[in-house]
Amino acid sequence: MLRTCPLCEAVCGLQIELDEHDRVVSARGDRDDPFSKGFICPKGASLGKLDEDPDLLRAPMIRTGDTWREVGWDEAFDAVAAGFGAVVAEHGRSALALYAGNPSAHTVAGGLYLPVLLRALGTRSFFSASTADQMPKHVASGFMFGDPLAIPVPDLDRTDYLFMLGANPMESNGSLCTAPDFPGRMKAIRARGGKVVVVDPRRTRTADRADEHIFIRPGTDPFLLFGIVHVLFADELTEIDVRSGTCGATKIPVAGLDELRAVATLFSPEIAEAQTGVPAATITRIAHELAAAKTAAVYARIGTCTAEFGTLAQWLVEVVNVLTGNLDRPGGAMFATPAVGRIRRSRPYRTGRWTSRVRGLPEANGELPVATLADEIETPGEGRIRALVTVAGNPVLSAPSGDRIGRALPELDFMVSVDRYLNETTRHANVVLPPPTTLQSPHYDFALLGFAVRNYARYSPPALPLDAQPSEAEILARLAMAAAGQAGDPALADELVIGTTLQKAVTVAGSPVEGRDTAELRAELRGETGAELRLDMMLRLGPYGEWNGGTLNLQALLDNPHGIDLGPLQPQLDERLCTESRRVELAPPALVDDVARLREYIARARPELVLIGRRQLRSNNSWMHNVASLVGGSNTCTLQINPADVDRLGLGDQAVVKSAAGELTVPLEPTDAIMPGVVSLPHGWGHARSTQSVAAANAGVNANELTDDALIDVLSGNAVFNGVPVTLAPVTA
């Protein structure tokens, strides 16, 4: 049996063998998948163990006080309707909130039904893991390209020079760069004579496999990138055609060059060196190498996003890609063309259309920062959150000041979680609704195929039948109905979406189905569930779709269970740009204004020690620690520290780590792979009170007791996990 692995962003094809009781005998890489070509990691290989974990919830749970009881689905949804109803009656819809976690970016249910649920809740209190992750990228792309989803990816298979900051794909398998077998693709760059340079405060496994590793002080990437931009201008390494306002060999239309040049003069390589610790000569050399390379791509990920100047960093990454002529050209930083199409944005991108109640933080992409979730639950007054829905999230372990969220959740009047486990977050819910297992669920990666390094599509229908439970799509649809105070058939939600989408498609000028009859189009759709019908519609409307002169529809994906290769990335800046100027905005005012904050950083006293995070190959954020084969060995919760710091501070095997937000006692792992003055603790641990037996036995500590929800990247509202000031002290008896 074939299916896509849903566990991380690499979308590997898996070949799964089942025994006669439908239990997984083995999970291997699918060699006939044209994209992943047989690659698999230890997590994918453990998919069966995850699905068969005895601690998984199999039926809805209702909590009364400290006791949980299993109930039937109707009873569970009645309880949800009553819970929402009471809160709405007393406090209105602004008292409702939704938190969507990372796995919901991978599931069909998350992709198709979270928007339906959010609309039904009728609240602006929408939070997700995006503000603990990539929101700086959306905001930077929104301002520069007019579209928050226009995030370029490095054209890994063709590039001659990969400059990678704050990413460790040897452990993470890549992020906002969907690339199964990242290790193999990186090796191939070097094999064809290319170069890979990694910038990271730790010498990671990725750095070990690169041509060059550059240590950098956490949180200072914008200085490094500004230093490069400075050199590109000062040494005239960028091809500028002033008359046409274009940049680089491929003549990228740009606006704001003069403003950009003016701010970049403030950041010489020497100033950058003082902040980053990277020698000025190295910065100058890298700028020259990027400019001289036949093709080059700058790629920056979580280490640079979850930082105080996250959005500035993402802006400058794309600025360097533009100035070196590498944006939108093969081998450079390119946009994917996913099979499910989207309707172009017609309004200018902006943030702050509304602000959070307590701290006045601006929304970005319709979301409020998860860093202010606890404030909104704890602080009395009109609009206080009284009821919360969590879907596939564990913010108590994953959000900044997570333990504070754990203390705030019991203050809610009502909480419902859609999750497979009773964990640190869901144990506070009144009702928990468990989705079916992975193999009982369909898979199509709506979100991540939009960031793939090769255009590709693959659909996996559910491999195993549902027992008596609803699919996750149906759970979300029924939750939406409960939230809206409606009764009836959840399939109506799908028909509504299909109707509205088709109506829009036939009226939009230039649409492939402009002027056609919606009833006729509806009649062409095929699929066994509402989700499949919607996928069929999206594929048909998409760039390779049957309604667009192509061949793709649901049936084509069903006929090709190994997936369909849709070819290498294609230049498409013209179609992607939706700024008002129809140019790449190199100096958007909001970003240029934020440079003042970066300048203030220079005058700040530098903390002696700062905390960063890290990912581990056999973990996935907070939720894979209950599979015995995935924990233990190198996958333990230790604080990496340079031996010089251990000596300097007179530490033993453990230390007490303190930040402005909290304090933890942690085992130390001295290693010269981490630079002096920096310590690293993985997140997602801290399962001491978990009912998950394996996880509790390997509990670790919650790194997010140290991260501070008061710190955010101001433009995007993103959480700051890297560069958190801490002090260390010996453990005293």
Ligand X SMILES: Nc1nc2c(c(=O)[nH]1)N[C@H]1C(S)=C(S)[C@@H](COP(=O)(O)OP(=O)(O)OC[C@H]3O[C@@H](n4cnc5c(=O)[nH]c(N)nc54)[C@H](O)[C@@H]3O)O[C@H]1N2
Residues interacting with ligand SF4, by CB under 6 A? 5, 7-8, 10-12, 40-41, 43-44, 173, 180
Instruction: Report residue 5: phi and psi, to 5°.
Output: -75, 125
- Cα Dmax for the chain: 78
| Interface with ligand X: number of residues (CB under 6 A) | 66
Q: Which residues contact 654 (CB under 8 A, 6 or more apart)?
A: 665, 666, 667, 668, 731
- The nearest distance, CB 362 to Mo ion, in angstroms, is 21
Quick one: which of 44, 136, 277, 303 contacts ligand X (CB under 6 A)? 303
- Name the DSSP letter for residue 593: H
CA distance 259 to 63: 58
In the bound complex, what is the minimum distance in angstroms from residue 550's beta carbon to ligand X? 30
Task: Please tell me the distance from the alpha carbon of residue 85 to that of residue 369, in angstroms, as a whole number.
Answer: 26
Report the nearest approach of ligand X to the CB of residue 199 (Å): 5
With binding defined as CB under 6 A, does residue 125 bind ligand X?
A: no
Q: Which of 622, 640, 692, 718: binder of ligand X (CB under 6 A)?
A: 622
Binding site for Mo ion (CB under 5 A): 133
Which residues in 655-714 contact ligand X (CB under 6 A)?
683-684, 703-704, 707
Q: Minimum distance between the CB of residue 653 and ligand SF4, rounded to whole angstroms?
A: 32
Please choose, out of 78-86, 126-134, 547-555, 689-697, the segment that lies near ligand X by the rule CB under 6 A: 126-134
Radius of gyration of the chain (CA): 25
Among 84, 163, 623, 685, binds ligand X (CB under 6 A): 623
Q: Quick one: which of 722, 82, 733 has its CA closest to 400?
A: 722
Show the binding pattern over residues 370-409: x = contacts ligand X (CB under 6 A), - = does not.
---------------------xxxxx-xx-----------
718 touches ligand X by CB under 6 A:
no
Least distance in Å: CB of 612 to ligand SF4? 23
Q: Residue 675, Cα to own-chain centre: how many angstroms?
A: 27
Residues pairing with 680 in the sheet: 612, 640
Within 8 A by CB and 6+ apart from 510, the residues are: none
Single out the residue of 214, 101, 302, 137 nearest to residue 722, CA to CA: 302
Nearest approach in angstroms of CB 140 to Mo ion is 17
Residue 545 CB partners (closer than 8 Å, separation 6+): 339, 341, 512, 539, 552, 553
State the minimum distance, in angstroms, from the CB of residue 554 to ligand SF4.
Answer: 22
* Strand ranges inside 392-479, DSSP E: 414-418, 431-433, 454-457
Q: Which does 401 bind (CB under 5 to 8 A by kind): ligand SF4, ligand X, Mo ion, none?
A: none
Q: Which helix (H) or strand (E) holds 57?
A: none
For position 613 contacting ligand X by CB under 6 A, the verdict is: yes
306 is a site residue for ligand X (CB under 6 A): yes
- The only residue of 61, 135, 144, 307 in contact with ligand X, by rule CB under 6 A: 307
Identity of the residue, 417 or 437, whose beta carbon is nearer to ligand SF4 in the bound complex: 437
Which is nearer to ligand SF4, 327 or 557 (by Cβ)?
A: 557
166 binds ligand X (CB under 6 A): yes
Instruction: Look up residue 364 and give its DSSP letter.
Output: B
DSSP string, 319-352: HHHHHTT-BTSTTSEE----SS--PPP-SPP-S-
Query: Taking Cα atoms as reference points, which of 18, 106, 154, 114 lies closest to residue 458?
Result: 106
- The option from Mo ion, ligand SF4, ligand X, none interacting with 200 (CB < 5 to 8 A, set by class) reads ligand X
Asked if 710 and 362 touch (Cβ cutoff 8 Å), the reply is: no
For ligand SF4, give the closer residue by CB, 209 or 658. 209
* CA nearest to 429, candidates 440, 439, 420: 420
40 binds, among ligand SF4, Mo ion, ligand X, none (CB under 5 to 8 A by kind): ligand SF4
Cα 156 from Cα 163, distance rounded (Å): 11
Residue 369 lies near ligand X (rule: CB under 6 A):
no
Q: Which does 218 bind (CB under 5 to 8 A by kind): ligand X, Mo ion, ligand SF4, none?
A: ligand X
> Residue 6 or residue 512: which is nearer to ligand X going by CB?
6
667: Cα within 13 Å, side-chain hemisphere? 9
List interacting residues with ligand X (CB under 6 A).
8-9, 101-103, 107, 129, 132-133, 165-169, 171-173, 175, 199-202, 204, 216, 218-219, 221, 301-304, 306-307, 391-395, 397-398, 418-421, 423, 435, 472, 612-617, 619-623, 683-684, 703-704, 707, 721-723
